[in-house]
């Protein structure tokens, strides 16, 4: 058994490389040890499973060890705020927007079996998402009955159901999701709110998400890739894909679980990603990260004006960043035990 007395982090780093071919379970034990030091291991010979609903895929990275200290820079390399909710800069943002009557939309696609998450998602949003602000929940769903009986909302909060056709199978949903978001943002969202945020429904707000998230174009850092080197990011590398990212491109890797901004900016994003996805579909191509690949391609070409830390998109994984506060937690993504590695 690995203990502090027997091995240093450097020792484990070397042993991982030498021992993995003989014993995958050794890798897991070492990773557990490093987790005790608030570090995470990501080995080239041990692919990390990035899970999207209905589809799992292996992504290999170079061997790296995340720092045991949580790094909390408050600015990106291009000068945009990098938001940690309890930082002084976030308090300044909250004060700046506190007196403004901002109308915000929270847009969620709820189809098929994902309807089982909607009540938990909405109940948690009522407590933690922009408390005291005017919020309209836009629920794109093929199962309106899951909202019966209606959830009791706080004053200034509204819920609007946008019916969509049934989209069985994750592959069909992938091709249509960005298009559905763009159409909904154009009408009715664009006429009713100032800002809109898109979120996966299989999540739960567990701590306050307040005015610090406002920005023209807002993206959220992927929790398993925060602090990793650029060559660890699972950008699309197939040149035939419209989502392809060259080796010298990209600053961060963003999650598709939570993003937003001004209605006009999010509409441009959704429309552009939809166009690229449908273009690839016509050519028989699909990016390996599905819509997340196209989202990252767009955000390389249109850098976000506000970047949210992994506090705003976190899930239980051996590779997830250690964050000061978990604010929005995924219930659909999880760490897969070694028996499921391939």
Instruction: Point out the annotated binding site for Mn(2+).
Output: 200, 202
Total of domains in the chain: 1
Rounded CA-CA distance 21/290 in Å is: 31
**β-sheet bridge partners, residue 121:** none
pLDDT score of 171: 56
> Mind giving me the DSSP string for 304-342?
-SEEE-GGGSB---TTSPP-S---EEESS--PPPGGG--
Question: Is residue 204 included in any domain, yes or no?
Answer: yes
Rounded CA-CA distance 322/304 in Å is: 23
Do 308 and 222 touch, CB atoms closer than 8 A?
Answer: no
Question: Is residue 179 included in any domain, yes or no?
Answer: yes
Instruction: Report the CATH number that the domain containing residue 161 is assigned in CATH.
Output: 3.90.550.10
**Active-site residue flag, 126:** no
Identify the active-site residue in 224, 257, 292, 311.
Answer: 292
Rounded CA-CA distance 138/136 in Å is: 6
Domain that holds residue 111: 82-335
Instruction: Point out the annotated binding site for UDP-N-acetyl-alpha-D-galactosamine.
Output: 114, 200-202
Sign of CA dihedral 306, 247, 198, 114: negative
Question: Is residue 117 included in any domain, yes or no?
Answer: yes
pLDDT score of 162: 92
Instruction: Point out the annotated binding site.
Output: 114, 200-202, 222, 292, 316
Question: Is residue 296 included in any domain, yes or no?
Answer: yes
pLDDT score of 121: 97
pLDDT score of 70: 61
Give the model confidence (pLDDT) of 111-149 as tens digits. Answer: 888 889 999 999 999 999 999 999 999 999 988 888 888
Question: Is residue 227 included in any domain, yes or no?
Answer: yes
Question: Is residue 304 included in any domain, yes or no?
Answer: yes
CA distances for 190 relative to 214, 252, 325, angstroms? 16, 29, 32
Q: Which stretches of the chain score pLDDT less than 70? A: 1-70, 166-174, 333-342
């Amino acid at each position: 058994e690995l203990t502090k007395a027997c091995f240093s982090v450097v020792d484990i780093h070397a042993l991982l490389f030498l021992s993995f071919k003989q014993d995958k379970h050794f890798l897991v034990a070492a990773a557990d040890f490093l987790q005790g030091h608030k570090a995470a291991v990501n080995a080239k010979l041990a692919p990390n499973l990035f899970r999207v609903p209905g589809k799992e895929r292996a992504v290999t990275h170079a061997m790296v060890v995340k720092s045991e200290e949580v790094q909390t820079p408050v600015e990106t390399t291009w000068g945009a705020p990098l938001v940690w909710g309890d930082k002084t800069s976030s308090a300044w943002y909250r004060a700046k927007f506190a007196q403004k009557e901002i109308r915000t939309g929270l847009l969620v696609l709820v189809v098929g079996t994902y309807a089982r998450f909607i009540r938990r998602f909405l109940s948690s949003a009522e407590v933690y998402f922009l408390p005291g602000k005017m919020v309209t929940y836009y629920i794109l769903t093929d199962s309106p009955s899951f909202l019966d009986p209606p959830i009791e909302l706080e004053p200034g909060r509204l819920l609007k159901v946008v019916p969509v056709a049934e989209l069985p199978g994750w592959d069909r949903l992938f091709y249509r999701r960005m298009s559905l978001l763009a159409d909904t943002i154009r009408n009715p969202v664009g006429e009713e709110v100032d800002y809109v945020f898109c979120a996966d429904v299989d999540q739960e707000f567990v701590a306050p998400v307040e005015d610090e998230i406002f920005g023209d174009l807002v993206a959220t850092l992927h929790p398993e890739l925060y602090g990793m080197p650029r060559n660890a990011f699972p950008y699309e590398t197939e040149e035939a894909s419209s989502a392809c990212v060259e080796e010298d491109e990209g600053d961060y890797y963003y999650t598709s679980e939570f993003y937003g901004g001004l209605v006009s900016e999010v509409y441009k994003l959704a429309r552009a990603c939809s166009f690229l996805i449908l273009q690839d579909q016509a050519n028989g191509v699909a990016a390996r990260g599905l819509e997340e690949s196209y989202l990252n391609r767009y955000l390389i070409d249109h850098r976000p004006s506000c970047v949210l830390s992994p506090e705003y998109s976190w899930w239980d994984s051996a590779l997830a960043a250690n964050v000061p506060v978990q604010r929005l937690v995924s219930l659909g993504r999880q760490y897969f035990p070694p028996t499921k590695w391939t």
